[in-house]
Structure 1
């Protein structure tokens, strides 16, 4: 049976941005509803040690997100385990349809849907996803105890994955198309000092190969970016760590975006191209992409939503025929 819930502020997403918005919106007595989405807790639930969260010299990513959720709940934010399948922003109150069948109406919306792992788009990569090809070392690293594996990428994500995987693998080959890493210097130093990790420069993944019955990875073919020479590297696991793309399915055809799909916000603000709709965290941040900056934007979004609602006065919550945008379905919720 379908149900309809109304709230002053609907928060879509549950990473550092979403939960922080929940804390601040609750403290403003806005009684927000927070819909967690397809990955409750966001990307930090698939990381291990977090060493750059202020106040914690080291904290496990999943533990930090459990604490954030508990904090939001303690402040009065109602956290709902649902996925928003479509969002209508062409009139107020805004309307969101949950995968559960629940319809949410809201006077203001805070988008904190974050980002998802990027893939290379190779047919062989797709074939072996979940059967030797992964984008999450913390999810799947345990399965490769004593095995040789490869990591693709050269940024923070790739280096962090490679370092973590040395806890299980006998050898980790880091494959990067350039001859230097983009990762933070402290991570680069750790990687270079680790005897289990061997960087392979100027190469890119060409093909993943393996067995069909049972489905499993046996190795990869990599190509030298300058000479085109193909090298065969035996391995049992392939971890693709080439970054993330904003999870913008709900609004990519509605809100203004740039830089490959990141939602545009006004200068020094989380306000989007539709009044009453705010965006925070990795959905809008193509530059920093840090948990602490996401949390800061979640705070900003809640404070700006509170201010915007106060300015609306008696009009808040009423239907308006003013064209504000277009509804769009979320294919990721299917």
Structure 2
């Protein structure tokens, strides 16, 4: 029988919310572990510049992730790789987390799994991932130096990543399905000043085409005029929204009808001892700052929960 590793609190996810929760929980002398299937930092590793995090005029996302990780482990919190395969509620409110790297058990569980980019769902998108289709300008922009690329989306992420690409590639065309952007005004102002960044309105990408090696064309549809056309394009960066990483928690009854986790103002879910923090929560603003705030509160509330259990024992 596989040994179950015992902790006071298990944190699933090591983005800004999870790492902050680990700082607070471990500083309160809880035996703490962060579980993640990838590198710590989450979406920060895909962010070029962070300009709205207190204490820094500007900092690269991966650099901020490194600093947060150092802070999150300074009081003894552990970090472990593992893909979550299931969560069970045991007797006495114990939580058993199954991963492909073993099982972990604790009375308190903090879910900080964040969200991921929504795909367009068009022909060629999956086929050409890594061959011209990308969801990370910081990761892949350098491959397109001197070329023309497309960005799909009209929100903050699309404009921010478009601005980053504009400093790397020849020019950027942003395809927006609506007649205006949804991005913050300051980002729109910067984009309008960027000479090699252009916007095409009321337009959707309906297919991505190429040869066996890479993307070469996009099929477009104007949802106002009904016109269809094909354009040459060697790269496409997609930013059309986010979906929560909560499929593995659906059996717990803590998500809404869209998959976001519902909590009260203390980050507590409907299940005693299970908390949620960061972008995985049902809320309006998803930023590093809000994730950090959630994480701090979740870590503190996990401590209060475990302390009460110990006092009752």
The answer to whether 1:225 aligns with 2:223 is: yes
- C-alpha distance in 2, partners of 1:39/1:57? 25
> Retained in 2: the 8 A contact 1:255–1:263?
no
Gaps of 5+ in 1: 317-334
- C-alpha distance in 2, partners of 1:2/1:142? 45
State the match for 2:191 in structure 1.
191
- C-alpha distance in 2, partners of 1:286/1:112? 14
The answer to whether 1:244 aligns with 2:245 is: no
- Name which of structure 1's ranges 280-289 and 151-160 shifts more when overlaid on structure 2: 280-289
- C-alpha distance in 2, partners of 1:190/1:90? 53
State the number of aligned residues: 312
What is the CA-CA distance between 1:314 and the residue it aligns to? 5.4
State the match for 2:232 in structure 1.
234
> Retained in 1: the 8 A contact 2:4–2:105?
yes
- Name which of structure 1's ranges 29-38 and 135-144 shifts more when overlaid on structure 2: 29-38
- C-alpha distance in 2, partners of 1:103/1:235? 46
- Name which of structure 1's ranges 13-22 and 126-135 shifts more when overlaid on structure 2: 126-135
CA RMSD of aligned residues (A): 1.5
> Retained in 2: the 8 A contact 1:37–1:113?
no
State the match for 1:277 in structure 2.
274
- C-alpha distance in 1, partners of 2:22/2:76? 8
Instruction: Identify the match of residue 296 of structure 1 among 272, 293, 307.
Output: 293
What is the CA-CA distance between 1:315 and the residue it aligns to? 5.7
How does 1:70-85 map onto structure 2 within 5 Å? 70-85=70-85
- C-alpha distance in 2, partners of 1:175/1:259? 29
User: Any idea what SS the aligned residue of 1:239 has?
Assistant: strand
- C-alpha distance in 2, partners of 1:72/1:187? 31
Residues 102-149 of structure 1: CA deviation (Å, up to 9, x unaligned): 210111101100111110111221221111111111111111111111
State the match for 2:284 in structure 1.
287
- C-alpha distance in 1, partners of 2:39/2:280? 14
- C-alpha distance in 2, partners of 1:90/1:233? 56
Q: Which runs of 4+ in 1 moved over 6 A?
A: none
Seen in structure 2, the aligned counterparts of structure 1 residues 120 and 39 have a Cα distance that, compared at 3 Å, is farther
> Retained in 2: the 8 A contact 1:220–1:232?
yes
State the match for 1:99 in structure 2.
100
> Retained in 1: the 8 A contact 2:137–2:237?
yes
- Name which of structure 1's ranges 255-264 and 145-154 shifts more when overlaid on structure 2: 255-264
User: Any idea what SS the aligned residue of 2:251 has?
Assistant: coil
State the match for 2:144 in structure 1.
144
- Name which of structure 1's ranges 108-117 and 90-99 shifts more when overlaid on structure 2: 90-99
User: Any idea what SS the aligned residue of 2:73 has?
Assistant: helix
- C-alpha distance in 2, partners of 1:9/1:315? 18
Gaps of 5+ in 2: none
State the match for 1:24 in structure 2.
24
Residues 157-198 of structure 1: CA deviation (Å, up to 9, x unaligned): 100111111122111100001111111111111111101111
How does 1:59-78 map onto structure 2 within 5 Å? 59-78=59-78
> Retained in 2: the 8 A contact 1:12–1:111?
yes
> Retained in 2: the 8 A contact 1:259–1:286?
no
State the match for 2:156 in structure 1.
156
User: Any idea what SS the aligned residue of 1:238 has?
Assistant: strand
